[in-house]
Chains A and B, each alone.
Chain A
Amino acid sequence: MNWNDLIFLLPEIIIATGASLMLIAPVTGIREAVSAKWAMLAVLAITAGSLIACSWAVTDLHQSKYFGRMFALDGFSIFFKLLFIGAIAVIVLLSDDYLQETRYSAWEYYSLVGFALCGMMFMASGVHLATIYIGLELLSLSSYILAGYFKNEQKSTEAAMKYFVLGAVSSAILLYGISLIYGVCGSLNLFDIARAMSTIVTNDALMFGIILLACGLCFKIAAVPFHVWTPDVYEGAPTPITAFLSTASKAAAFAIFARVFYTGLHDFHGSWNNVLATVSALSMIVGNLAAITQNSIKRMLAYSSIAHAGYALLGIIAVNEMGIRGVLIYTFVYVFANLGIWSIVLMMKRHEYAGEQVSDFEGLHSRAPFWAFAMFIFLLSLGGIPPTAGFIGKYFLFYAAVQAGFGWLAIIAVLMSAVSMFYYLRLVVAMYLRDGKAADVTTSGSLRFVAAVCLVVTIIFGVLPDRLVKQVDASAKRMHIQDAVMRNVAK
Chain B
Amino acid sequence: MGILNIVTYIPAIGALLLLFFRKDNPAAIRITATAVAIIDFIASLYLWMNFDSKAAGDAIWQFREKYEWIPSLHVSYDFGIDGIALLLIVLTTFMGIIAIVSSYSAIDHRQKEYYILLLLLQTGMIGTFCALDFFLFYLFWEIMLVPMYFIIGIWGGARKLYAAIKFFLYTLAGSVLMLLSILGLYFFNSDGIPFLNIPGLHNPPTFSVIHYHQIGHLIPPSLQFWLFLGFFFGFAIKVPMFPFHTWLPDAHVEAPTAGSIILAAVLLKMGTYGFVRFALPILPDGTKQLLPWVVGLAIIGIIYGALVSLVQKDMKKLVAYSSVSHLGFVMLGMFALNPMGLKGSVLQMINHGISTGALFLLVGFIYERRHTRLISEYGGLAKQMPMYAVLFLIAALSSMGLPALNGFIGEFTILVGAANRNLWWAVFASVGIVLGAAYLLWLYQRVFWGPLDNPKNRDVPDVNGREMALMFALVAVMIWIGVYPKPFFEPLEEPVNYIVKKVDPTYFDRNPLVYPAAQPEHVAEAK
Chain A interface residues toward B at CB < 8 A: 380, 385-387, 391, 395, 398-399, 402-407, 410-411, 414-415, 417-419, 421-422, 425, 429, 432-433, 464-466, 469-470, 473
- Does the CB pair A411–B142 fall under 8 Å? no
A415 → B minimal CB distance (Å): 6
5 residue pairs, one from A and one from B, having the closest CB atoms: A405-B195, A414-B176, A469-B72, A418-B173, A418-B172
A362 → B minimal CB distance (Å): 12
Given A402-B184, A411-B180, 15 more A-B residue pairs with CB atoms under 8 Å apart are A380-B146, A385-B142, A385-B145, A386-B143, A387-B143, A398-B180, A399-B183, A402-B180, A402-B187, A407-B195, A410-B180, A414-B176, A465-B72, A466-B73, A469-B73
Given A386-B138, A469-B73, A425 and B179 touching (CB < 8 A)? no
- Does the CB pair B150–A432 fall under 8 Å? yes
- Does the CB pair A433–B142 fall under 8 Å? no
- Does the CB pair B176–A418 fall under 8 Å? yes
B154 at the A interface (CB under 8 A): yes
- Does the CB pair A405–B194 fall under 8 Å? yes
Which residue of chain A has its CB nearest to the CB of B140?
A386
Which residue of chain B has its CB nearest to the CB of A385?
B142
B165 at the A interface (CB under 8 A): yes
Q: What would be 16 A-B contacts, judged by CB atoms less than 8 Å apart?
A: A385-B145, A386-B139, A399-B183, A402-B180, A402-B183, A402-B184, A403-B191, A418-B173, A419-B169, A425-B165, A429-B164, A432-B154, A433-B161, A465-B70, A466-B70, A470-B72
Q: Report chain B residues within 8 Å CB of A387.
A: 139, 143
- Does the CB pair A469–B164 fall under 8 Å? no
Interface residues of B in 91-141 (CB under 8 A from A): 138-139
- Does the CB pair A411–B183 fall under 8 Å? no
- Does the CB pair A433–B169 fall under 8 Å? no
- Does the CB pair B180–A418 fall under 8 Å? no
A119 to B150 alpha-carbon distance, docked (Å): 44
Q: Report chain B residues within 8 Å CB of A419.
A: 169
- Does the CB pair A432–B172 fall under 8 Å? no
Q: Report chain B residues within 8 Å CB of A385.
A: 142, 145-146, 172
A387 to B123 alpha-carbon distance, docked (Å): 14
- Does the CB pair A465–B73 fall under 8 Å? yes
Q: Report chain B residues within 8 Å CB of A433.
A: 150, 153-154, 160-161, 164
- Does the CB pair A398–B183 fall under 8 Å? yes
Q: Report chain B residues within 8 Å CB of A415.
A: 173, 176-177
Q: Report chain A residues within 8 Å CB of B48.
A: none
- Does the CB pair B172–A421 fall under 8 Å? yes
Given A405-B194, A411-B177, A465-B70, A386 and B153 touching (CB < 8 A)? no
B412 at the A interface (CB under 8 A): no
A141 → B minimal CB distance (Å): 40
- Does the CB pair B72–A466 fall under 8 Å? yes
A422 to B161 alpha-carbon distance, docked (Å): 12
Q: Report chain A residues within 8 Å CB of B173.
A: 415, 418
Q: Report chain A residues within 8 Å CB of B139.
A: 386-387
B455 at the A interface (CB under 8 A): no
- Does the CB pair A414–B180 fall under 8 Å? yes
Q: Report chain B residues within 8 Å CB of A402.
A: 180, 183-184, 187, 193
Q: Report chain B residues within 8 Å CB of A465.
A: 70, 72-73
B71 at the A interface (CB under 8 A): yes
B3 → A minimal CB distance (Å): 23
Which residue of chain B has its CB nearest to the CB of A403?
B187
- Does the CB pair B164–A417 fall under 8 Å? no
B168 at the A interface (CB under 8 A): yes
A253 → B minimal CB distance (Å): 27
Which residue of chain B has its CB nearest to the CB of A429?
B161
Q: Report chain B residues within 8 Å CB of A429.
A: 153, 161, 164-165
Q: Report chain A residues within 8 Å CB of B164.
A: 429, 433
B515 → A minimal CB distance (Å): 40
Q: Report chain A residues within 8 Å CB of B194.
A: 403, 405
Interface residues on B, range: 35 or more
Q: Report chain B residues within 8 Å CB of A386.
A: 138-139, 142-143
Q: Report chain A residues within 8 Å CB of B145.
A: 385
Q: Report chain A residues within 8 Å CB of B180.
A: 398, 402, 407, 410-411, 414
Q: Report chain A residues within 8 Å CB of B187.
A: 402-403
Which residue of chain B has its CB nearest to the CB of A411?
B180
Q: Report chain A residues within 8 Å CB of B168.
A: 421, 425
Interface residues of B in 163-200 (CB under 8 A from A): 164-165, 168-169, 172-173, 176-177, 179-180, 183-184, 187, 191, 193-196
Which residue of chain B has its CB nearest to the CB of A405?
B195
Q: Report chain A residues within 8 Å CB of B153.
A: 429, 432-433
A88 → B minimal CB distance (Å): 28
- Does the CB pair A414–B179 fall under 8 Å? yes
A422 to B173 alpha-carbon distance, docked (Å): 11
A481 to B237 alpha-carbon distance, docked (Å): 43
Which residue of chain B has its CB nearest to the CB of A470?
B72
- Does the CB pair B195–A422 fall under 8 Å? no
Q: Which of A404, A429, A469 has the most C-beta atoms of chain B within 10 angstroms of its own C-beta? A: A429
Q: Which of A386, A395, A465 has the most C-beta atoms of chain B within 10 angstroms of its own C-beta? A: A386
A303 to B71 alpha-carbon distance, docked (Å): 35
Q: Report chain A residues within 8 Å CB of B184.
A: 402
A465 to B165 alpha-carbon distance, docked (Å): 29
Q: Which of A402, A405, A470 has the most C-beta atoms of chain B within 10 angstroms of its own C-beta? A: A402
A415 to B138 alpha-carbon distance, docked (Å): 16
A303 to B416 alpha-carbon distance, docked (Å): 55
Which residue of chain B has its CB nearest to the CB of A376?
B146
A465 to B139 alpha-carbon distance, docked (Å): 13
Q: Report chain B residues within 8 Å CB of A398.
A: 179-180, 183
A407 to B179 alpha-carbon distance, docked (Å): 13
B310 → A minimal CB distance (Å): 34
A459 to B263 alpha-carbon distance, docked (Å): 27
Q: Report chain B residues within 8 Å CB of A470.
A: 72
Which residue of chain A has its CB nearest to the CB of B71?
A466
Choose one: B72, B143, B150, B169; the contact of A422 (CB below 8 Å): B169
Q: Report chain A residues within 8 Å CB of B191.
A: 403
B329 → A minimal CB distance (Å): 29
A191 to B479 alpha-carbon distance, docked (Å): 77
A387 to B172 alpha-carbon distance, docked (Å): 14
- Annotate B148-166 by CB proximity to A: 1 below 8 A, 0 otherwise: 0110011000001100110
Q: Report chain B residues within 8 Å CB of A405.
A: 194-195
B199 → A minimal CB distance (Å): 14
B15 → A minimal CB distance (Å): 13
Q: Report chain A residues within 8 Å CB of B172.
A: 385, 418, 421
Q: Report chain B residues within 8 Å CB of A414.
A: 176-177, 179-180
Q: Report chain A residues within 8 Å CB of B142.
A: 385-386, 391
Which residue of chain A has its CB nearest to the CB of B176?
A414
Interface residues of B in 377-395 (CB under 8 A from A): none
Given A405-B194, A464-B70, A465-B70, A418 and B146 touching (CB < 8 A)? no
Which residue of chain A has its CB nearest to the CB of B190?
A403
- Annotate B62-80 by CB proximity to A: 1 below 8 A, 0 otherwise: 0000000111110000000
- Does the CB pair B169–A421 fall under 8 Å? yes
A344 → B minimal CB distance (Å): 18
A404 to B195 alpha-carbon distance, docked (Å): 7
Q: Report chain B residues within 8 Å CB of A425.
A: 149, 165, 168
A391 to B175 alpha-carbon distance, docked (Å): 13
A466 to B72 alpha-carbon distance, docked (Å): 6
A470 to B72 alpha-carbon distance, docked (Å): 7
- Does the CB pair A473–B195 fall under 8 Å? no
A75 to B312 alpha-carbon distance, docked (Å): 64
B431 → A minimal CB distance (Å): 36
A1 → B minimal CB distance (Å): 40
A320 → B minimal CB distance (Å): 10
B27 → A minimal CB distance (Å): 21
A432 to B191 alpha-carbon distance, docked (Å): 45
A470 to B70 alpha-carbon distance, docked (Å): 10
Q: Report chain A residues within 8 Å CB of B71.
A: 466
A422 to B171 alpha-carbon distance, docked (Å): 12
Interface residues of B in 334-364 (CB under 8 A from A): none
A404 to B179 alpha-carbon distance, docked (Å): 17
